[in-house]
Amino acid sequence: MTEPNHKILVVGATGTVGSALVEALAAAGEKVKAATRDPSRAFGKGVEAVLYDFDDPQTFDAALDGVDRVFYLSRPADVQAADVAAPLFEKAAASGVNRIVNMSAMGVDADDNIPLRQVEILLEKSTITHTLLRPNWFMQNFSVGSFNGMIREQNGLFLPAADASVSFIDARDIAAVAAKVLTEDGHASKSYALTGAETFTHSEVAQELSKVVEKTITYTAISDGDMKSGLEAQAMPDTVIDFMLALFGAMRAGYNASVTGDVSKVLGQQPRTLSAFAREFAASF
């Protein structure tokens, strides 16, 4: 008798959320396939690394073999995100996948022309049961992400965020929510806006980080033009630059300032706080 599909494919398994999700699922005893361009990579007990290339649909069949649930996220700043996702979703439906959890970003539902929203629309039109996760900005941007170099090397944050408030979320809380909706019922056709329980301006973030290190970290508001010049100096592609500027524009407009109860609704507990995050990762600052 053929063994029924019972595995979870995690796309983006090496990323900030994906790696935490793989760990959480494996700890819960789930059989996990970690999508990666390097299938020789070791992910730990109970996790099978599988070759996956967004641009090569020929890798999708093997990745989906034995899979009944998929966690999916698009590549950052991919203006063709829906075109890239469509072949996978089609193969998933044909191969017996019965649940897809898609992660996009907070606020994408404001405009159906946003590429990440177009991926969501594909799922809404499909026959596969789906759940949409829309997280706010990650706290991990300060510890290992794109802003960490500024903090370590210049003792500051230099961003075009003005004085906008943001309900930053720990990526591990996003992963915990994803693990829940992948492994329990009751989340079909639902969308969750995932935030922390508090809002902070970047000046306030700098103050929180300063409390846990022996230096003063400051925040300097810069212009879009300044950021564009800095990213161009790093040879960033124009599409990535435009994506980042659009994100900060949305932030300044207040789209990242709301606090929802969706994390506690799914997990039954409050999300991690920025102060606790700062203490835990003080060495990284």
Mean pLDDT calculated for residue range 91-106: 97
**What is the distance between the alpha carbons of residues 259 and 31, in angstroms, rounded to a whole number?**
33
**93 Cβ neighbours under 8 A, 6+ residues apart:** 126, 127, 128
Mean pLDDT of the 120-132 span? 96
% of the chain with per-residue pLDDT over 70: 99
Residue 26, pLDDT score: 96
Give me 85's structure tokens. Answer: 């996702």
Cα separation, 115 vs 118, in Å, equals 5
Q: What is the reported pLDDT for 251? A: 96
Per DSSP, helices labelled H in 126-223 are: 140-143, 148-154, 171-183, 202-210
Mean pLDDT of 29-40: 96
pLDDT at 4: 67
- Cβ neighbours around 41 below 10 Å, total: 12
Q: Can you give the residue ranges of every domain in the chain?
A: 7-135, 138-169+195-257+272-285
d(CA 172, CA 186): 21
The third-level CATH classification (topology) of the domain covering 138-169+195-257+272-285 is UDP-galactose 4-epimerase; domain 1 (3.90.25)
Task: State percent of the chain over pLDDT 90.
Answer: 94
The mean pLDDT value for 33-38 works out to 96
pTM, to two decimals: 0.96
pLDDT at 87 over 60: yes
The per-residue pLDDT for 1 is: 32
CATH topology of domain 7-135: Rossmann fold (3.40.50)
